[in-house]
Structure 1
Amino acid sequence: MKYNTLNASSRFDSKLSSVLNNSIWCWKPARSEALVEIQCHLPDVPLGIVDKPVWHIARKGSYACSDTWEFFRDKKPDVVWWHLIWFPLAIPKQSFILWLAVQNRLTTGDRLLVWGFQGDVNCVFCRHGVESRDHLFFECSFSSRIWLACLQRCPFIDPNSDWQSLLDDGCIHWKKKTLAGILCRLVFSSAVYNIWRARNEVKFQGHPKSEEQILKLILWEVRNRISGSSRFNKTRENIRICQYWNLDCSVLH
């Protein structure tokens, strides 16, 4: 930068106005071939118009967070399970925890062992074996009873499915924007979130919750989320779902 300014016979802190006089370029004689080439192109630069900032990576030239994100992010193919996490009526904090769980990035006991952790890594609920993602959701006898209780109100999910089977089935059968599809995803994300939260409360605060307390939270969150919507058609299946969940049929139209 200093080399170029010296070649232009200008100070290092010079402004553009120092080489303009009444909208006419008035450069001092160039001292390098590079500067000669630059000055040859200057007549093509329009003068006499108001300057304005242009965000070149944006489609419209003005700053947009979405355009900036698209420019800087590492683009990869869509994963098949994205609609299990991000969907209409999804609860953001639950989607985030489920997103970590699907990728097996929660700090479960088995992962802590890999990192060299020397403390207790057994399941805080049943105390049987090392805690893992698949154990916590829903091989553990404690979390399994909560999950089965949820499925009594959500008969669209196979109660015998393990974690991977739940994901596989969900990617095929839960992706529609029907009441049943939204309900399955809400139940799944709320169950994962509240069981993980209860696990942390036991592990870090020593405050265990009962199965009934966790189940009540899950059912309340799902019911409350659906009650605030009116996007579903009034079909026999949807009326039956409303009866299962004690929902006012005003959510149907």
Structure 2
Amino acid sequence: QILCLRPLVKEHLIYKCGNGEHFSLWFDPWLHGDSVHALYGHMVMFEAGLSKHARVKEVIRDGEWCWPQAPCDVVELQQRVRSIPISTAPDSIHWDKVGEVFSTASAFHGIRQRFLSVDWHDIVWHSRRIPKHAFSLWLALRGAHRTKDKLLAIGVVHSTDCAFLCGETETLQHLFFQCPFSSMVWREVLLMCNIVRPLLSWADEVLWMSTHARGSAFHHTMRRLAFAATVYHLWIERNRRCFKNVFLPYQEIIRLVKQDV
């Protein structure tokens, strides 16, 4: 997968030719962003009579370009390189522009795909977040949790019954917070945050939190933390029941949420 990014990364690299000791004459993109081989093919190496391992320095004599006498492709190449200055400085590679210092951050921002910010960004990736809670909430918001309805579709399980034994089909929307078990947990957590309102569908809960848990006020931070902690501990309890056959009462889940927040 990383190697697939090579063409994309290439667009950000600038090869600045110096004394020619390090750049491949044929394969490095020192010629105005392209390699000689990419522009003229393999035949130019044969016509020039130079090894495929040749360095740029082999066509530099006394500070000037000095190509072998050869057919038209090499003559054209001689014309193209005249605008490239020769110096005694070593060859160098730059990121985006000459003199720019490379960093992993600049590389990441340079090659990543950019999308519009989502409304729920601030309730997940805020400065007070608990990393494992934020990650679990992010998965839920992306619809990435492998609930039983998804697992049934790919043949992993034979039943979609909710792990909280309510008899309903386990979906993301059901787990958060339409299931009687999870709704009891979430209702109590809301009360601890001094929020008294009916429970909403998952999409509406996210919208409500995105609207009413913004900013740096203490009660907004508590709401964000409580929301993420509830999603995290409900998902952990669901997995605990599925894989370990261990069942905690809803009061214990509330205690764990309170302890973390």
TM bracket, shorter-chain basis: 0.7 to 0.9
For the pair 1:89 / 2:111, whether they are aligned, the reply is: no
Superposed CA RMSD: 2.1
- Within the alignment, does 1:17 sit opposite 2:35 as a pair? no
Contact 2:187 2:199 in 1 (8 A): no
Match of 1:172 in 2: 211
Alignment match of 1:132 (pick from 153, 171, 196): 171
Deviation at 1:98, TM superposition (A): 1.1
Q: CA deviation at 1:13?
A: 1.2
State whether residues 148 and 157 of structure 2, in contact with CA within 8 Å, keep that contact through their aligned partners in structure 1. no
Provide the C-alpha distance between the structure 1 equivalents of 2:223 and 2:98, rounded to a whole number of angstroms: 38
Work out the CA distance in 2 between the residues paired with 1:207 and 1:178. 38
| Alignment of 1:141 onto 2:180 | yes
Counterparts of 2:237 and 2:207, CA distance in 1: 26
Distance 2:78 2:101 in 1: 29
Q: How far is the alpha carbon of 1:199 from its aligned partner? A: 0.8
Taking a change above 3 Å as real, the CA distance of residues 60 and 182 of structure 1, as seen in their structure-2 partners, is: farther
Measured after TM superposition, the shift of residue 24 of structure 1 is: 2.9
Report the alpha carbon displacement of residue 191 of structure 1 after superposing the two structures with TM: 0.4
Please list every run of 5 or more consecutive structure 1 residues that lacks an aligned counterpart in the other structure.
223-253
The residue aligned with 2:119 is 80
Q: Which amino acid aligns with 1:170?
A: M
Quote the residue 1:67 is aligned against.
106
Instruction: Please tell me whether the aligned partners of residues 177 and 199 of structure 2 are also in contact (alpha carbons under 8 angstroms).
Output: no
Structure 1 runs (4+) deviating above 4 angstroms are: none
Per the alignment, residue 184 of structure 1 pairs with 223
Tell me whether 1:106 sits opposite 2:183 in the alignment.
no
TM-score, normalization by structure 2: 0.76
% identical aligned pairs: 26
In the alignment, the residues of structure 2 paired with residue 157 and residue 62 of structure 1 have an alpha-carbon distance, to the nearest angstrom, of 53
Q: Partner of 1:206: helix, strand, or coil?
A: coil
Measure the CA separation in 1 of the matches of 2:172 and 2:162.
Answer: 10
Q: Distance in 2 between matches of 1:93 and 1:157?
A: 27
Letter of the structure 1 residue corresponding to residue 185 of structure 2: I
> AA paired with 1:200?
N
- Quote the Cα distance in structure 1 between the aligned partners of 2:258 and 2:78: 71
Q: What CA deviation, in whole Å up to 9, does each residue of 1:198-241 have, x standing for no partner?
A: 1112111222223233222211111xxxxxxxxxxxxxxxxxxx
Counterpart of 1:221? 260
Q: CA deviation at 1:59?
A: 9.3
Distance in 1 separating the partners of 2:44 and 2:260: 64
Aligned residues: 220
Q: 1:63 to 1:125 in 2, by over 3 A?
A: same
Is the 8 Å Cα contact of residues 45 and 51 (structure 2) preserved in structure 1?
Answer: yes
Counterpart AA for 2:79: C
- Shift of residue 157, structure 1, vs aligned partner: 6.2
Q: Residue 122 of structure 1 aligns with which residue?
A: 161
- Cα deviation for residue 66 of structure 1 reads 2.5
What whole-Å deviation, never above 9, does each CA across 1:40-92 have from its counterpart, x for those lacking one?
Answer: 23233222223322123x79622222322223222222222211211121122
Give CA deviations for 1:86-138 in whole Å, capped at 9, x if unaligned: 11211222222211211222111122233344423211112411111111111
Match of 2:95 in 1: 55
Q: CA deviation at 1:159?
A: 4.3
**Distance across 2 between alignment mates of 1:189 and 1:31:** 70
- Pair 178,50 (structure 1): closer, same or farther in 2 beyond 3 Å: same
> Take 1:59 and 1:164, find their aligned partners in 2: how far apart are those partners?
48
**If the length of structure 1 is used for normalisation, what is the TM-score?**
0.78
2:197 to 151, 158, 172: 158
Measure, in 2, the Cα distance between the counterparts of 1:24 and 1:157.
Answer: 81
Query: What SS class does the counterpart of residue 152 from structure 1 fall into?
Result: helix
Higher relative contact order (CA 8 A, sep 6+): 2
Contact 1:20 1:26 in 2 (8 A): yes
